[in-house]
Amino acid sequence: MGGSQIFVACDDTLECSQTLYCIHGKCRCAEEDYWTGNACSPRTDISSPCNTSNECYGKLLCRDGTCQCEAFLYWDGTNCYNKKTWRQTCGSSNECVDLLQCSDSTCQCRETDFWNGDTCSSKKVVFDTCVSREECKHPMHCYRQRCQCFSSDYWNGSSCSLRKTINSKCNTHLECSDTLQCNLNKCQCSTNDYWNEIYCTKRKSVTMACKIENECQEGLRCLESTCHCPTTKYLNDNECLPKKDLHTDCESSVECKDTLSCSEGTCRCDESEFWQGTACIKRRRKDESCMSTNECKENFQCTKKRCICKDTHYWDGLECSLRKTIMVSCNDSMECADNLHCKGSRCGCKDIEYWNGSRCETRKDVNEKCLETRECQQTMYCARDICQCPATDFWNGSLCVLKTNFNGTCKSPTECGETLQCRDSLCLCCETDFWDGQYCVKRKGYNILCSYDSECMKEYTCHNNFCVCPNTSYWNGHACRCFKTFVCTNSVILSFFVQVQQRECEDVQSDLDGVYTVWPVGSSSPVNVYCVMKGSEKWTVIQRRQSRTVNFYRGWSEYKSGFGDVKANHWLGNDNIHYISSNGHHELRVELKDWNGLNAYAEYSTVIIGDESSNYVLTVGGYSGTAGDSLQHHNGHTFQTKDVNTGYSTSCQGAWWYAGSCSYSNLNGQYNIGANYYGQQTTSMTWFHWKGINALKPALELTIAQWQIYENVGRTHNVTSEVIQSPSLHKTLNRQHSCRTLEFRITYNYSEHSFTIQSPSLHKTLSEQHSCRTLEFRITYNYSEHSFTIQSPSLHKTLSEQHSCGTLEFHITYNYYEHFFTIQSPSLHKTLNRQHSCRTLEFHITYNYSEHSSTIQSPSLHKTLNGQHSCRTLEFRITYNYSEHSSTIQSPSLHKTLNGQHSCRTLEFRIT
């Protein structure tokens, strides 16, 4: 019969299937076998393949597909047993737990490790904490709970080495044996010890027995087997002390050097002698040879190796007598004190000098500080503590001369009389004034008495001794306007949008402080500047110091182009400062702060920085403020850096218009906190007339040492121009008038504040039709009324001949609050009004900041054209292309209208 299956109850093995045994009343596999599902199979040995731990023999487990002992067990050839720990017997390292190895039949740590109670740890190095010697690296021991070398050894960085003996090479004291120290890379005794062939011992003091001089204390000599004082010293309480020099306290002459004696408690020479350095010798008389003044008799000095009278004395034939002061009687100038001269048998100053109470000083030049007029050069007087020429004179570089009158030649405004200005090398009135024979006075307004046209404002003429409108216009109660006697049958309306570049902060149309891009006149590229807006004043920051993060001790090229962050520490660049300051009248403001938090400022009504060819020479004047005038000393001086035009730059450690020293002003000097000694003071940021040579503070939050330029109104600049092109309108007009090119050129004259618009091709076309010699549009901006006037003399004449127009003008007004322009033309309005019944002709230009575009709208013209052409909207869009620096004007509605009449595919105006 078949046997029973596994785990079936049984009484005898015969009842079980083959390979099964009846164990404990059930059919089971033998202990060394396992059940495969069909039969018992022998369990596999260590490292044999397996699928489950049941297949493995004894305590083996199936790990990674093979039968293995667990990590804390080892295989002894028959079964797995627990690994042995520290100091347990072993046959091989495999029987020991991790980090232990079998050595001398016991589990031990490696030589570089020690047993810490749980595992092996690396042995400790020098100065590590320890409990026993076993914890420390060989050959150290555990001393005072620290791993240390033995006293005879030192730690060389990796192990303990034997300490070195006398004269051995060393790097530290620890390398030398006890009593020795490392001096000059050799193991030696200290200066107070000597080597006795075994160790260092103390040198012997005076009177002690000795064999060689090296045994005695330093400075002592071994004489007759005893340590003695040298000849240059004396014995005092068993101590050798140096013999005393001249003027040293003493009790007896034995304490004093040779030839000196102790007199009244002091070592000294006799009064008729002087100390030569080694001995006392007799003093020298007049004209005897000498090396120093101390060798000469009283009131003499040593000059050119001869004893002569001091500068404060003169030789009277017997002795040197004190020179005489001012107003004392004299026979010769040599009897008078320094700077005085014998004039009229009295000691006095030269004509070019004055007496300041103690000595003669040179009379001061123009703009130098003074207290009284006698301190100034002749022809000048002292006013407001400054030497000045009289109001009727100017300083020509050497003296005061009478100012030039009206129409006289000049080189600068200071040469012209009161109210005059230097224009085109002539002393003239400004354009808004006229010369009344004595002064420049404002031109006269409407209906004011006059003698000549030059006395009236430009828009008036002098007729019958009154300023009136010219005969081509009439007075409307506010201004002159053209006569209403013309009828226009045809009219062409041209609209232009002109964007003028910002030259400095004065041109920025904003009241907010911040960084703006400007294009200074003369510069070939734009520059970012920080603008400070103070009400109506707009300042351009050219230098700012807030912290020490930016180094200001730099070379010429960096100061030429500028450096730093314009929002923080920076220098704008000498080229940029030159371009800004040399175009128009500017003011300079310097804001300062000291280390106590106090503020001060200095303002100058005139400032000009020259170009690079002049080494950026400084012209400054007209001081006011609370900080004192520390910049006037630098007026007329050139810029200096550490590598070009060096001057005082290297000693002052900055870059500035230095003039003899750093102490007057040095705002590009070093950042020295507090500047607590003279070496720092002379190189620090300073402003002498406020804080002496004490350093200023660059505040982290506030702007200090800040130079700002404010531009006044009367400016003169170079000329810029723009070109407007319209391909589509060109094509349309070309068909009608055979114009090859249609261009409009707009030129802005900064000196006259006006635009001129010219179109060569349209000029030619209109010239052929209307005999116009020149086609120009003149645009004039009125700063007081914030409006433009556009005039075209040639077109006015042409239209006047055809339509009897007295004046053709376009008025452009800018609304600052709503940011749009309004263009009005009274004369053209009337003409169109007669034809189209338009009550008002205006053009509104609105600028969209987010899209950088402008829109031109004309409600009245829209209505008129709408009535004729059914245009729903009439507008002009102006878009500016920053990459190509050009503008495009488009009008969708007018394009549609003209397209219907002229088959123009596109109507646009291009402004470059």
Q: What is the mean predicted confidence (pLDDT) over 796-807?
A: 43
Kindly give the interhelix angle for 760-770 and 727-737, rounded to the nearest 10 degrees: 30
Q: What average pLDDT does the structure give for the chain?
A: 75
DSSP secondary structure string for all residues of 251-271 = SSGGGBPTT-EEETTEEE--T
Other CB atoms within 10 A of residue 297 CB: 16
Q: Is the pLDDT of residue 523 over 60?
A: yes
User: What pLDDT is stored for residue 677 in this prediction?
Assistant: 43
Say what the pLDDT of residue 894 is: 47
pLDDT at 78: 80
Q: Which long-range contacts (CB under 8 A, 24 or more apart) does 154-160 make?
A: 155/126, 160/126
Cβ atoms of residues 849 and 858 within 8 Å: no
Distance CA 476, CA 474 (A): 6
Return the CATH fold of 505-711: Gamma Fibrinogen; Chain A, domain 1 (3.90.215)
CA distances from 136 to 100, 118, 128, 154, 900 (A): 18, 17, 8, 15, 105
List CB contacts of 622: < 8 A, sequence separation 6 or more.
604, 605, 606
pLDDT (average), residues 694-706: 38
Partnered with residue 721 across adjacent β-strands are 747
pLDDT digits (tens, 9 = 90+) for 13-63: 888 888 888 999 999 998 888 888 888 989 888 888 999 888 898 888 898
Cα–Cα distance for residue pair 381/375, rounded to 1 Å: 8
pLDDT of amino acid 821: 47
- pLDDT for residue 790: 60
- What pLDDT, in 10s, does the model give residues 753-784? 455 556 555 555 444 443 333 445 555 545 44
Angle 892-902/727-737 helices, nearest 10 degrees? 30
DSSP 612-659: GGGTS-EEEEEEEESS---SGGGTTPPPB-SSSS-TTHHHHTS-B---
Strand ranges, E, within 626-775 = 704-711, 719-725, 743-749, 754-758
* Top mean-pLDDT range of 359-373, 465-479, 533-547: 359-373
pLDDT at 186: 93
Of 204-218, 392-406, 481-495, the range with the lowest mean pLDDT is 481-495
pLDDT for 575: 94
Condensed to tens digits (0 to 9), the pLDDT of residues 242-264 reads: 888 888 999 988 888 888 889 98
The pLDDT, as a whole number, for residue 596 is: 76
pLDDT value at position 676? 46
Looking at the predicted structure, is the pLDDT value of residue 795 above 70?
A: no
Is residue 809 predicted with pLDDT exceeding 50?
Answer: yes
User: Mapped to the 3 state alphabet, what secondary structure does 59-86 carry?
Assistant: CCEEECCEEECCCCEEECCCCEEECECC
pLDDT, tens only, 79-116:
888 888 888 899 888 889 888 889 899 999 988 889 88
Q: What is the pLDDT of residue 548?
A: 80
Task: Note the pLDDT of residue 304.
Answer: 92
Query: Which of the listed ranges 178-187, 389-398, 506-515 does the model predict with the highest average pLDDT?
Result: 178-187
Residue range 181-213, pLDDT digits in tens: 899 999 998 888 888 888 888 988 888 899 888
List, as own/partner pairs, every contact residues 616-622 make where C-beta atoms lie below 8 angstroms and the sequence separation is at least 24, other chains included: 616/574, 616/577, 616/578, 616/657, 617/657, 618/657, 620/588, 621/367
pLDDT over 70 at 376, yes or no = yes
Does the pLDDT at position 902 exceed 70? Answer: no
- Is 126 or 836 the better-scoring residue by pLDDT? 126
Q: Write the single-letter amino acid at 61.
A: L
Above 80 in pLDDT, residue 830?
Answer: no
